Amino acid sequence: MLQSTNLSEMKSNLFLLIFLFNSCFLVSQDLHFSQFYNSPLNINPGSTGVFNGAQRLHAGYRTQWNNVVPWNTFTAAYDRKFIHKKCTDPKSYFSGGIVLNHDRVSDLSKLTLTNVNITGSYTLRIDSSNLITFGGLLGLAGRAFDENQLIWDKQWINNAFNLDADSGEGNISNRITFIETALGVNYRWQKHARTKLDLGIGVFHLAQPNVAFHSNNIGLFRRYSLSAVGQFQLSQRLDIQLNGLAQWQGPYSEYVIGGLGKLYVNQNPGRHVEVHLGLGYRTSGSLFPILAVQYNRIYASVSYDIDMSDINELKGVRPNTLELHFRYIIANPIWGKKGCPIY
């Protein structure tokens, strides 16, 4: 049985629950990252294979509001180009990748989202500085929750919850699966490795699958994303990166903007070191400072969301949100010997 709870505290917790779902879940029904540029395949399948190298490995972790309602997100991805080792300056190439995502709310009935997606793309090189990539995504997703952790309004009897009372919710399934589909296109302009610009458009949930846990058919809103990431060399030791993201999903929207300064501490081959410092803003009401370090082709970053929403006044705490990313890029040395560009 639940311990007795006064009505005012219950109202406060109910308001908190509604606030969390509206500001955190509904506004961005799919998983999301403040450092969106570090999880490109989740933003646009047209980003598959668009990087300077042959193969790319990525892992990311976000622990959100862990001192209020813990919300944890994990992502891992691998993508690579398919260019023959004997190539000589190809005009186009194919790429492929795989993405694994897992999202879980530790409270609120342990609601989870897991998906495994395959991505593929075709890149057309217009000239030495301009490339356009068309990509697609196909995957399998599942949502689940622990119904034993839930309480229902019809169980509120005589100013107390009776867990033995009927929920009145009828036939509910605690697990569903559905197909993921997406298309995207990415345009890259690249002067050289340190001055480049990516503009992307992605559309997810093309089939609008049914995501209801009950008998009603509720189609998942399509998600539309527009992204821009530009890096510009300012001096021998300093670059600047500017990035922006706009996403729409049904009546909900999200906008993220930010910038980074990239300091080249050591540019000697085999001892290459970069330090990145930046700041971003998300329209849900968060500022997030960013720190990243790159050693040769190994990259790691961390950011911390400073929440400025009304939740602070409600509970008297500032939600903790930490985000980590790791990336490793493999450059095929054979391509360099054959004069094959890796962009």
Q: Which domains does the chain have, with CATH numbers?
A: 7-338 (2.40.160.40)
Tokens of 288: 């997030």
Tokens of 260: 């980074």
At residue 326, the pLDDT reads 98
At residue 65, the pLDDT reads 73
Q: Determine whether 327 is exposed, middle or buried from the number of CB atoms within 10 Å of its CB (0-12, 13-18, 19+).
A: buried
pLDDT per position as a tens digit, 47-96: 999 998 899 999 999 998 766 677 899 999 999 999 766 665 668 899 99
Could you give the 3-state DSSP secondary structure of residue 232?
strand
Phi-psi label, residue 31: left if phi above 0, alpha if psi -120 to 50, beta otherwise: beta
At residue 77, the pLDDT reads 98
Cα–Cα distance measured from residue 78 to residue 96, given in angstroms and rounded to the nearest whole number: 8
Radius of gyration (Cα) for the chain, nearest Å? 23
- Of the pLDDT bands very low, low, confident and very high (cuts 50, 70, 90), residue 157 is confident
- Of the pLDDT bands very low, low, confident and very high (cuts 50, 70, 90), residue 169 is low
Q: Which of 120, 131, 70 is nearest to 98 (CA)?
A: 120
Which residues, 6+ apart, have CB-to-CB distance to 8 below 8 Å?
none
Place of tokens 């720190």: 291
Average the pLDDT over 104-126 and give the result: 88
Cα–Cα distance measured from residue 59 to residue 78, given in angstroms and rounded to the nearest whole number: 9
Fill in the DSSP letter of residue 3: P
How many Cβ atoms are within 10 Å of 274's Cβ, its own excluded? 18
Cα–Cα distance measured from residue 20 to residue 335, given in angstroms and rounded to the nearest whole number: 50
At residue 6, the pLDDT reads 44
End-to-end CA distance of the chain: 62
pLDDT per position as a tens digit, 267-305: 998 999 999 999 999 887 789 999 999 999 999 999 999
Helix (H) or strand (E) holding 322: strand 320-330
- Spatial contact of 39 and 31, defined as CB atoms under 8 Å apart: no
Q: Which of 140, 134, 119 is nearest to 207 (CA)?
A: 140
* 154 or 75, greater pLDDT: 75
pLDDT per position as a tens digit, 16-44: 444 444 433 333 357 889 999 999 999 99
Q: Whats the size of the chain, residue-wise?
A: 343
Q: Furthest-apart CA pair in the chain: how many Å?
A: 80
Helical spans, DSSP H, in the chain: 7-20, 311-315, 333-338
Q: Determine whether 19 is exposed, middle or buried from the number of CB atoms within 10 Å of its CB (0-12, 13-18, 19+).
A: middle
